[in-house]
Amino acid sequence: MKILADQNMPLVEEFFSSFGEVTRFDGRAVTAEQVQDADVLLTRSITKVNKALLDNADKLKFVGTATIGVDHIDQTFLATRDIAFSSAPGCNAVAVAEYVISALYAYSQDRDVELRGKKLAIIGVGNIGACLQHKLAYSGIELILCDPVLAEQGKLNEHVDIDTALAQADFVTFHVPLVKSGAHQTKHLLNKDRIKQLKPNMLVINASRGDVIDNQALLAAKQAGQKLELILDVWENEPNILTELMAHCLYTSVHIAGHTLEGKARGTQMLYQALCKTLEVEPTKRLETFLPTPAISQCQLNNTFTERDYGRIVHMIYDIRRDNGLMRANLESQGFDVLRKQYPPRREFSTLNILSQPSHTQKLQQLGFQVEMNEE
């Protein structure tokens, strides 16, 4: 069996080599010729999987994307060709939620803003939005939830429509899929008119898809002097982004919110499990056996630890300002895709075991850390 996999997908050899020969490809430059002999195609979000790419791939039985987003896959075409398809729903939900939490604490430190008592609107309450909601449950931040799709299905009683949510919130974070048409279109969900209505100094975070915010309108608003705090991980027209917008952002990154080692590896594992199902074989390989030991795995809090120190614990595992610095220093010389490819290892909060006073245990656990109680 010939397995073709994106060069940025970790652990493919470990999970898939028992099925056959694994060959890697450049996700942005892969051609129909490269795919024509493949039995299995494993991609990430940068490869457009459509008729043009697959027209001659007559042997292809399975396409997998090790991502949550599926806007790069023509699933209708795959169905017409009877090619099994799987994505990796939820694989990096924890990673994106932790990116947002790191962003909030960094913003709080750098702008000297108290998070407790502020209102955060979460637009899109699926795997990522719900994970963020869960992790922030004891943060003291009031959460406003907006998801008209879930509301229509009767699955989100607390739903607040987007314009009300934006009017009420101090911060907003987007976690919607890219949908280009229909009643719940998300392309330019934050459009020129909505940008104009945002409160002064509103914090806007986008770690969903670049097209969810009209980047030109955002730039025009900032150039006209509108006061907004921007944290952008995703951009319209990646990798050729609107670089002028970076100067108006508090923090920027190269579409890496989901790129923890665990998040990326879970994506590969989910495709392995899906292929096993398609081939009707029992999965035998387990992710835990492939992940490296984290550099820091334990710490102890003293009784001088206060509310203001939560950010320091979060940033011990992941500080969004590292990625902001890397992008600003290297984008011009290295380019967007190279920075993504060379992304330095990042772990999830759950890799840190904290010996904590009882008063902090619940909040740290809720954020996702492993916690042991220190009774002294």
Ligand X SMILES: O=C(O)C(=O)[C@H](O)COP(=O)(O)O
Ligand Y SMILES: NC(=O)C1=CN([C@@H]2O[C@H](COP(=O)(O)OP(=O)(O)OC[C@H]3O[C@@H](n4cnc5c(N)ncnc54)[C@H](O)[C@@H]3O)[C@@H](O)[C@H]2O)C=CC1
Among ligand X, ligand Y, none, the one that 44 touches (CB under a kind-dependent 5 to 8 A) is ligand X
288 a catalytic residue:
no
Catalytic choice (209, 346, 347, 360): 209
First to last CA, the chain: 59
**What is the rounded CA–CA span in Å between residue 367 and residue 346?**
17
> What secondary structure does DSSP assign to 216-253, as a single string?
HHHHHHHHTT--EEEEES--TTTTS--GGGGGG-SEE-
ω before 239 within 30° of 0 (cis)? Answer: yes
Going by C-alpha positions, the residue among 256, 258, 234, 255 that lies closest to residue 245 is 234
Decide: is 173 part of the binding site for ligand X (CB under 6 A).
no
Q: Which of 68, 78, 213, 301 binds ligand Y (CB under 6 A)?
A: 68
The residues facing 119 across adjacent strands are 142
DSSP state of 94: H
Q: Which of 45, 186, 260, 351 binds ligand X (CB under 6 A)?
A: 45
Catalytic choice (98, 229, 236, 238): 238
**Between 267 and 368, CB nearer to ligand X:** 267
Angle at the Cα of 234 (from 14 to 174), degrees rounded to 5? 105
Among ligand X, ligand Y, none, the one that 186 touches (CB under a kind-dependent 5 to 8 A) is ligand Y
238 a catalytic residue:
yes
Residue nearest to ligand Y (CB): 126
Name, in order, each residue with C-beta under 8 angstroms of 262's C-beta and a sequence gap of 6 or more: 94, 95, 291, 347, 348, 350, 351
Decide: is 96 part of the binding site for ligand Y (CB under 6 A).
yes
**Between 172 and 313, CB nearer to ligand Y:** 172
Q: Which of 27, 124, 267, 368 binds ligand Y (CB under 6 A)?
A: 124
- Report the interface residues with ligand X, using CB under 6 A: 44-46, 67-69, 92, 255, 258
Catalytic residue IDs: 209, 238, 255
- Report the interface residues with ligand Y, using CB under 6 A: 68-69, 90, 92-93, 96, 123-129, 146-150, 175-179, 184, 186, 189, 207-209, 233-234, 255, 257-258
